[in-house]
A and B are shown apart, each in its own frame.
Chain A
Amino acid sequence: MRERLAAFQPLLALIIMVAVLSVASETFRTSENGANVLRQISVNLCLSTGMTLVVLSGGIDLSVGSVLALSGAITAGLIRRPLEVPAAGVALEFTVWGAVVAGISAGLLMGLFNGLAVTRFALPPFVATLGTLSIARGLTYLWTGGASTTGLGTAFGWMGTGTWLRLPVPVWISVGVAMLFWLVSRRTRFGRYVYAIGGNERAAVLSGLRVQRVKAWVYVIAGGLAGLAGLLVTARADAADPNAGTGYELDSIAAVVIGGTSLSGGKGSVVGTILGCLIIGVLNNGLVMLQVSPFWQQVFKGVVILVAVAIDRAGGKQD
C-alpha cells in the first residue's frame, strides 16, 4: 500500500504542474506542444529506463552519456563509409540496419564492460562507470577524429524525425522500451531478482540467486539502451556529434530519483521513472512557454530533485 502511495506522489506532482501550466500558457496546452514534450523526453526516457534497473540493483551508471555518443558515432560512421579491415584487406559495407545493429551492439559491449568490472573485478559501480564514461568518450573521438558525421539519409533520419499515428517515432520507441522493461522488472524472475539484490544483496546470495549474472545483465541492458538513445539523438539531428550526451547521465539519474526510486536500491519502479522524465520535460517546456530564462530552468530542476528526495526520505522514515 505504501509503495502505491509513493508511486502516486510523482503522478500528483505531474498533474498539478500540467494543470497550472495549462492555465498559465495557451501554447502549453496545444496538442503539438504535448507531442513536442514527449519527443524531447524520449532520449532521456530511453537512458533512464536502463538507469532505473541499475539503480534498483543498488548500482549506478555514469557512462550512459558517453556510450550514447559512441553508439551514435559508430552507426553514423558505418552509414557514411565502409569499415576497412586492413588485416583482411577488405572493406565491409553496412546497410542502415546493419549500422543500427552495430551501434546498439557497441552500447551492449560497453555495458558488458561495466558489468564485468562491477562483478568480476568487484569495482564499485560509481568508479567502474566513471572509467567507462571517459573510455567511451575517448573511443568516440578516436572513431570520429573529433568531427561530426553528417548526411545520414532519410531512412535513418525517420527514426528521429518521422511520425507514426500522429506521434513522433522516437516517442513510440522510448515508450515501448519503457513499457517492456516495466513488465520485465515486475513480471519476470530477472526483474524480481534485480529488486532483491538492491534490497539486500547478501540475502539474495544466500537465497541462491545468481547475483553476479543478474547484476552484469543490468549493466548490459543499460548500455544497450544508451546505444539506442544515441541512435535517436543522431537520427533527430541527422548528425553524430562526438560531444553528444555530455551530462545526460545526470538528467537520467534525476529522472530516476524524481520518479521515487531509491538510490540505495531495491525500491522504486520504471513507471515512476516515466513520470520523472515527464516532470523534467514538462518543467523545461513550461518554463520556456512562460518565457523564464533558461538559466532558471537549471535552478528549478535542482530544486525539484531535492524536494522529491526529501519527500521520499520523510516517507521512508515511518517504516
Chain B
Amino acid sequence: MTEPADVLTARGIFKSFPGVRALGGVDISVRAGRLNALLGENGAGKSTLMNILSGVYQPDRGELFWQGRRIRFCNPREAQAAGIAIIHQELNLIPGLTVTENVFLGREPITRWGTIDLRRMIADTETLLHQLRLEINPAVPVGRLPVGSQQLVEIAKALSSHSRVLIMDEPTSALSEQEIRSLFRLIKQLKSDGVGLIYITHKLDELSEIADDVTILRDGTLVASVEWGRASTDDLVRWMVGRDLSELYPKTECATGDEVLAVERMTLANSSLPGSHYFQDVSFSVCRGEVVGLFGLMGAGRTELLQTIFGLHPRASSGKVRVNGVEVAISSPPDAIQAGIALAPEDRKAEGLVMPMDVGENTVLARGNRDGAFGWIARNAEQRLAQQMCDRLKIKTPSLSQLVSNLSGGNQQKVVLAKWLATAPRILMLDEPTRGIDINAKKEIYSLIDELVHQGIGVLMVSSELPEILALSDRILVLAGGRIAGEFVRGEASEEDILAAAFQRR
C-alpha cells in the first residue's frame, strides 16, 4: 500500500493581529483519507490556522500547497473552489430554507429559462444524502431538524461541492451521544472515500475512534505532529499545556475567612423546554479570600448559574442568596451590584464593554446607578477613579479617552475587570476570564485574582480550561446534569476526577 499523498500542506505560517502574534511558523498537512486532530488550548492559534487554510485570512508569511502545488487563497470562495470546506462551530444554515435549498445556496442550478432548476436540485440532494446514508427529508426546513441533523446537513452541503478537504471546528460540542455516533459513522465513510479531514476538539476521549494523526499547537507554535497512537494522553496534555504550571499561576496561600456568598437551593427553569431546568436545587458557598472554581461541560448551565445569582433571570428562577450571612433579594443586576456582587461576563465584546465608548467611560459605567438616573457627572472624580483603576490593572492604553475597541483583547478584558473593581465588590464572579487573550495577559489576570482574594474578596470563577481551574481554585465545584456533581478541595482533584464528575461517569 502506498503512502497517502498530502492534499493540503501549510508550511511556516506566520500571522499577527494588532498586539498579538497568533501564529509563529506553523506547519500542518492533511492527507487523503486520514483525519488529523488539531489540539491546543484556547488561544493556541487553532482557529487562526483554520481561517488561513480556508481563505478567511491571508498569512503574513508562509506557504500553502494544494496537491503539491503552491497556492494562495484571497478569500473563502477561492478555497472553496479548490476543494476545501470548513464547518464552523456555529452552524451557517438558514433555518427557514429547506435542506435542499441550504445545500445549494449560492449555486442553484438554473434551467434554460433562467429559473431555478428545482427538480434537479432535489434529485441531487437526494442522491447526496443517500450516498452519505443520511436519513433526512430534503424538503424539511432546516430549522425544524435537531441540531445533530443540522450538523450533518452542513457536512452534506460542504461535500456537495466535491470538497477534498473538510475542516471541522469542535463539531460535537452541541451534539447528543447518538448524534455523535452518526457523525463518526459519516466521518469514517468520508475517510474511506479519500477525503482528508482536520478535526478540532477539546475532547481527547472521542479521538481514539476517528483520529489518524494529531497536531498540537501552543501559543501559536507547533509543538508536535505525530501519528495517533504514538503518543499517550499524558503526552498530549503535557504538550498542550506545556509549561511549568506554578510559573503561570501565581497562586499564593491565602487564609479564607467567613462565608461571603451563600446560594441555597437555586433553580432555573428552561423556558424553551417547559418542565426542564438548566440547574436545580444548587447550593454552595464562597468564603472571603477564597477562589471557587466552577467547572462543567458546555451547556451544563455554568453561565446561567452566574447570571441567576446576578439577577438576570428573576422570573424563571428560585432560591436564596446570602451575602455576608444576610439574605438579599436580587431581582435585577442593580440589586446584585447593591449587594456587592459583580459579574464579568464570558463574551467581553458582546456583553462586557460598550465598544463605541472610551476606556474611562467603560471603567465607571457600573458604578454610578445609585444616584438616580439624572445625576450630574463629577468629571474630575470620575477621571481620577478611572486612572487609578487603569494603573492598578496595568491597562495599556494611550489615554483614558481611547476607544476600548482599539485595545488588545487582554487589555479589553482588564477594562471589564476594572469596571467591576470600581464598584468595590465583595464577590467577584468571573465567567471565562481568560478566554481568547494571550499568555501574558492571562498571567496578569491570574496575579490580579490572587491579589484580590488577599484583600478579602470572594471569587467564583467559571472556566473551561481545566489547568486554570486546577491551579487557581481553592475549591472546585463540578456542575453536571443541572446539579453539583462533585466538589473537590485544592490538591485533592486531578483532571480525570473532574472530567469523570463532569461526564457523570460512575
Binding site for B on A (CB under 8 A): 1-2, 184, 187-190, 192-193, 195-196, 198-200, 202-210, 213-214, 217, 262, 266-267, 319
Q: Could you say which of B334, B354, B403 contacts A208, with CB atoms under 8 Å apart?
A: B334
Closest to A205 in B: B333
Asked if B419 is at the interface of the complex by the 8 Å CB criterion, the answer is yes
Query: How far is B345's CA from A205's CA once the two chains are assembled, in angstroms?
Result: 11
Question: Are B405 and A319 in contact, with the CB atoms below 8 A?
Answer: yes
A266 to B406, CA, bound (A): 16
**A196 and B373 contacting across the interface, CB-CB below 8 Å:** no
B113 within 8 A of A: no
Instruction: Say whether A210 contacts B361, CB under 8 Å.
Output: no
Q: Are B355 and A192 in contact (CB under 8 A)?
A: no
| Contact of B365 with A196 in the complex, beta carbons under 8 Å | yes
Whether B354 pairs with A195 at a CB distance below 8 angstroms is yes
Query: Which B residues are CB-close (under 8 A) to A214?
Result: 373
Q: Tell me which residues from 328 to 384 in chain B have a Cβ below 8 Å from any Cβ of chain A.
A: 332-334, 336-337, 343, 345, 350-357, 361, 365-366, 368-369, 371-377, 379
Task: Give the chain B neighbours of A203 by CB distance below 8 A.
Answer: 350-354, 365
Q: Is the CB of A208 within 8 A of B337?
A: yes
- Taking CB as reference atom, which chain B residue is nearest A197? B354
Whether A207 pairs with B419 at a CB distance below 8 angstroms is yes
> Least Cβ distance of A11 to chain B in Å?
20
CB proximity of B361 to chain A, nearest CB, Å: 7
> Known contacts being A195-B354, A199-B356, is A207 close to B373, with CB within 8 Å?
no
Point out which of A2, A192, A204, A319 has the most chain B C-beta atoms below 10 A from its C-beta.
Answer: A192
Across the interface, name the chain B residue whose C-beta is closest to A267. B356
Q: Which residue of A lies closest to B338 (CB)?
A: A208
Interface size on B, residues (CB 8 A): 35
Q: How many angstroms between the C-alpha atoms of A203 and B343 in the bound complex?
A: 11
B424: min CB distance to chain A, Å: 13
A266 touches B356 (CB 8 A): yes
Q: Within B142-168, which residues are at the interface with A (CB < 8 Å)?
A: none
- The smallest beta-carbon distance between A120 and chain B, in angstroms, is 14
Chain A interface main SS type: helix
A-B contact pairs, 29 of them (CB 8 A): A1-B401, A2-B403, A187-B376, A188-B376, A188-B377, A189-B369, A189-B377, A190-B374, A192-B361, A195-B354, A195-B361, A196-B361, A196-B365, A199-B354, A199-B356, A203-B351, A204-B354, A206-B345, A207-B333, A207-B365, A207-B419, A208-B333, A208-B334, A208-B337, A210-B334, A214-B373, A266-B354, A266-B357, A267-B356
B374 pairs with A206, CB closer than 8 A = no
Q: List the A side residues contacting B406 at CB < 8 Å.
A: 319
Instruction: Say whether B333 contacts A200, CB under 8 Å.
Output: no
Closest B residue, CB atoms, query A3 = B403
Given known contacts A187-B376, A196-B354, what 16 new A-B pairs fall within 8 Å (CB)?
A188-B374, A189-B377, A190-B375, A192-B377, A195-B357, A196-B365, A203-B350, A204-B354, A206-B310, A206-B333, A206-B343, A207-B419, A208-B333, A208-B336, A209-B369, A319-B405
What separation, in Å, do the CA atoms of A36 and B175 have in the docked complex? Answer: 68
Tell me the B residues contacting A by CB distance below 8 Å: 310, 312, 332-334, 336-337, 343, 345, 350-357, 361, 365-366, 368-369, 371-377, 379, 401, 403, 405-406, 419
Least CB distance, A263 to chain B, in whole angstroms? 13
Q: CA separation between A267 and B355, bound complex, in Å?
A: 10
Candidate in A192, A208, A217 with the most chain B CB atoms within 10 angstroms: A208
> For the complex, what is the distance from the CA of A217 to the CA of B345, rounded to whole Å?
27
- Nearest 8 interchain pairs by C-beta: A199-B354, A207-B366, A208-B333, A208-B337, A189-B375, A266-B356, A199-B356, A200-B354
CB pair B333 A196 closer than 8 Å: no
- How many angstroms from the CA of A188 to the CA of B375 in the assembled complex? 5
Point out the residues of chain A lying under 8 angstroms from B365, CB to CB: 192, 196, 203-204, 207, 209
Cα–Cα distance between A189 and B364 once the two chains are bound (Å): 11
Complex alpha-carbon distance, A62 and B146, angstroms: 40
Measured CB to CB, the nearest residue on chain A to B366 is A207
- For B337, B357, B379, which residue has the most chain A Cβ atoms within 10 angstroms? B357
B327 CB to nearest A CB, Å: 20
State A256–B114 Cα separation when bound (angstroms).
43
Asked whether, in the complex, the Cβ of B354 is within 8 Å of the Cβ of A206, the reply is no
Whether A193 contacts B373 by the Cβ 8 Å rule is yes
* Nearest CB in chain A: distance from B308 CB, A: 13
B355 touches A199 (CB 8 A): yes
CA distance A258 to B406 in the complex (A): 25
Distance between Cα atoms of A199 and B365 in the complex (Å): 12
CA distance A272 to B377 in the complex (A): 22
A190 touches B373 (CB 8 A): yes
Residues of B within 8 A of A184 (CB): 374
Q: Is B419 within 8 A of A189, CB to CB? A: no
Bound Cα distance from A195 to B357, whole angstroms:
8
CB distance from B360 to the nearest CB of A (A): 11
Report the minimal beta-carbon distance from A188 to chain B, rounded to whole angstroms. Answer: 6
A199: which B residues are within 8 A, CB to CB?
Answer: 354-357
Q: What CA separation (Å) do A193 and B353 show in the bound complex?
A: 13
Closest to B372 in A: A189
Q: Which residue of A lies closest to B364 (CB)?
A: A192
Choose from A195, A200, A217, A319 the contact partner of B373 (Cβ within 8 Å): A217
A150 to chain B: closest CB distance in Å? 39
Q: Of A187, A192, A206, which contacts B351 at CB under 8 A?
A: A206
Q: How far is the CA of A209 from the CA of B361 in the complex (A)?
A: 14
Taking CB atoms, residues of chain A closer than 8 Å to B350 are 200, 202-203
Q: Taking the nearest CB of chain B, how far is it from the CB of A59, in angstroms?
A: 16
- Residues from chain A with a CB closer than 8 A to the CB of B352 are 203, 206
Residues in chain A near residue B312, CB distance under 8 A: 205-206
Give the distance to chain A from B503, nearest Cβ to Cβ, in Å. 31
Bound form: Cα–Cα A319–B343 in Å:
28
Q: Which residue of A lies closest to B376 (CB)?
A: A188
Q: Which residues of A contact B377 (CB under 8 A)?
A: 187-189, 192
What residues of chain A lie closer than 8 Å to B375, measured between beta carbons?
188-190
List chain B residues, Cβ under 8 A from A202.
350-351
Bound Cα distance A190, B377 (Å)? 9
Q: Which residues of B sit under 8 angstroms from A1, Cβ to Cβ?
A: 401
Complex CA distance for A214 and B375, rounded to whole angstroms? 12
Report how far A209 CA is from B372 CA in the complex, Å. 10
Verify B373–A210 contact, CB threshold 8 A: yes
Complex Cα distance A9/B468, Å? Answer: 49
* B332, B356, B369, B375: residue with the most chain A Cβ atoms closer than 10 Å: B356
Contacts of A192 in B (CB 8 A): 361, 365, 377
User: CA of A187 to CA of B366 in the docked complex: distance in angstroms?
Assistant: 16
B275: min CB distance to chain A, Å: 25
How far apart sit A193 and B366, CA to CA, in the bound complex (Å)?
Answer: 10
CA gap between A188 and B379 in the complex, in Å = 10
When the two chains form the complex, which single residue of A2, A189, A208, A266 contacts B374, counting CB atoms closer than 8 Å? A189
